Amino acid sequence: MCNKQLILAASLFLGFLLNFPSLSSAYNRADRRSFQRSIVDSRSRLNPGFKKVKRKKTQYIIVHTSELGLKTTLRVVLKGKRLRNGRTTQGGHTHYVIARNGRTYRILDKKFEADHAGLSMWNGETDISKISIGIELVGYHYAPISESQYRSLGKLIDILQGVYGLDDRAVLTHSQVAYGKRNRWFKKNHRGRKRCAKNFIRAKAELGPTWPYDPDVRSGQLLPDPQLAGVYYGRRGYYAKTEDANIISKRNTAWSIAGEDYDSRTTVYKFPGGQIYTGDQISDNVGWKRIPAKTVVLLNQENSVFLKKSDGPIKTISDSLTAWSFAGKAYNLKTTIYFLPSGGIKFGSTISDWDDLPAKTRLIVGYRGPFTLYKDRSAYRIAGSKYKDRKTLYYLPSKELVAGDKIEDFDRLPAGTLIFLPYT
């Protein structure tokens, strides 16, 4: 081979290296080993009815947001989820779950197929579940992913890329690969069926850019979803903002927030006036075009009946009703106050993770205080004419939290009672 040919070959190879997504590792061997030892093995808890099928090839890693708290996420992916027709699946809905504190759970051996992507397509290939590994990040696509999750996710992806020889462009989100059938918003098959992980910032997981375009939209097989196209393929490198991302506005519709779950009974619409509807009630009771601006949309609220009944100022956290279910982005504000089952009180500004809060924790949103009741400092002196109001709350030394309209004799309130007043 002559010198000119050698120079040309070297130039072509250099160009290939510069333009091909990097396979180099961002983590050393010690990082990977330490992380692997920390993974919680949950495979023994997998639904025994789940049928294990070995995956024939692995082309992609799909990142999801679970749209649930930790306990419910683990229950759903291990044991199964309820479908609209009342049936329950057999579990096995992902390979890994990463909690908000970074703790990682192995749900299914990576060599088996997990039904995590549903109706999906990428680059002409359908049923992406059969050729990919699924990773669930506990949380919501309209809430920030935690820094601890990004650190664990980056290490996990790095390990999996090494095992399967995948580059950074093989890492996609569920909202990128999911597609839906025609509906009231689209006349043919389209992107946008899921919004999972549209808040995922790749650089925080040590990943390079995603594809510069959607191959199935470019080929004409699918219609684009305008919002997702802006998130993933916008020229300005736009990332999905989480602020107000689950609040109805002129540009943020029920579809752009909830995707195919917009009319599900587990999707809850909290109107600014306080009314609460589930997705299956909107059409008959309100009308999709008449949902008011500033309506908050919450996904996967299996206990929506209890959420609807919780119309008083005191909310109670359960396995499926998290602080985010009630407070949204205000969960970590000083004006959101938590009353732990142990009797302790925490302000939202001291809470870094809603999953750290135990079930039966009570919370109030938009409050100031506490103001302490003394013998010469009455409830009236503290709260004025609002001392008997249902929104004025009293935390008794017995750890009972009571609204003002439920107290029969204020003269018998013990000294040391704490009073919380709503911001007006």
Name which of 254, 338, 273, 265 is nearest 311 in CA terms. 273
- Per-residue confidence band for 304, with pLDDT thresholds at 50, 70 and 90: low
End-to-end, the C-alpha distance of the chain in Å comes to 82
Residue 7: per-residue pLDDT: 43
- Per-residue confidence band for 273, with pLDDT thresholds at 50, 70 and 90: confident
- Is it the case that residue 2 has pLDDT exceeding 70? no
- Is it the case that residue 5 has pLDDT exceeding 70? no
- Is it the case that residue 93 has pLDDT exceeding 60? yes
Neighbours of 93 (CB within 10 A): 28
CA distance 382 to 18: 68
As a whole number, mean pLDDT of residues 158-171 equals 97
Asked if 69 and 361 touch (Cβ cutoff 8 Å), the reply is no
- Per-residue confidence band for 241, with pLDDT thresholds at 50, 70 and 90: low
As a whole number, mean pLDDT of residues 416-420 equals 96
Set out the domains of the chain in order of their start, with CATH numbers.
Answer: 20-233 (3.40.80.10), 246-309 (no CATH)
Residue 243: per-residue pLDDT: 64
Residue 9: per-residue pLDDT: 45
Residue 15: per-residue pLDDT: 40
Residue 335: per-residue pLDDT: 97
How is 137-195 classified by DSSP, letter by letter? ESB-TTSPPPHHHHHHHHHHHHHHHHHHT--GGGEEEHHHHBEE---SS-SSSEE-S--
Residue 19: per-residue pLDDT: 40
As a whole number, mean pLDDT of residues 202-210 equals 95
Separation in Å, CA 230 to CA 202, 207, 333: 15, 19, 30
Entry pTM: 0.85
Rounded percentage of the chain residues whose pLDDT exceeds 70:
89
**Considering only 76-90, 112-126, 229-243, which range has the smallest mean pLDDT?**
229-243
Tokens 């333009």 belong to which residue?
19
Dihedral through CA 342, CA 347, CA 348, CA 350, nearest 10?
A: -90
How is 288-313 classified by DSSP, letter by letter? GGGPPTT-EEE---TTHHHHHH--SS
As a whole number, mean pLDDT of residues 85-100 equals 91
CA distance 37 to 103: 11
Q: For the segment 366-375, what is each residue's pLDDT rounded down to a tens digit?
A: 999 999 999 8
- Is it the case that residue 388 has pLDDT exceeding 50? yes
Q: For the segment 95-130, what is each residue's pLDDT rounded down to a tens digit?
A: 999 999 999 999 999 999 999 999 999 999 999 999
Average pLDDT, rounded, for the chain: 88
Neighbours of 361 (CB within 10 A): 21
Residue 274: per-residue pLDDT: 81
- Is it the case that residue 413 has pLDDT exceeding 50? yes
Residue 331: per-residue pLDDT: 92
Residue 234: per-residue pLDDT: 83
Asked if 268 and 248 touch (Cβ cutoff 8 Å), the reply is no
Residue 213: per-residue pLDDT: 96
Question: Which one has a higher pLDDT value, 245 or 197?
Answer: 197
Q: For the segment 312-347, what is each residue's pLDDT rounded down to a tens digit?
A: 899 998 877 889 888 888 899 999 999 999 999 999
Residue 101: per-residue pLDDT: 94
- Give 183's contacts (C-beta < 8 A, 6+ positions apart): 260
3-state secondary structure of 277: strand
**C-alpha count within 13 angstroms, C-beta hemisphere, residue 309:** 6
Asked if 282 and 317 touch (Cβ cutoff 8 Å), the reply is no
As a whole number, mean pLDDT of residues 408-424 equals 93
CA distance 216 to 193: 14
- Give 53's contacts (C-beta < 8 A, 6+ positions apart): 112, 113
Question: How, if at all, do strands 132-137 and 60-65 pair?
Answer: parallel
Q: For the segment 166-196, what is each residue's pLDDT rounded down to a tens digit?
A: 999 999 999 999 999 988 888 999 999 999 9
- Per-residue confidence band for 25, with pLDDT thresholds at 50, 70 and 90: low
- Per-residue confidence band for 10, with pLDDT thresholds at 50, 70 and 90: very low
Residue 6: per-residue pLDDT: 44
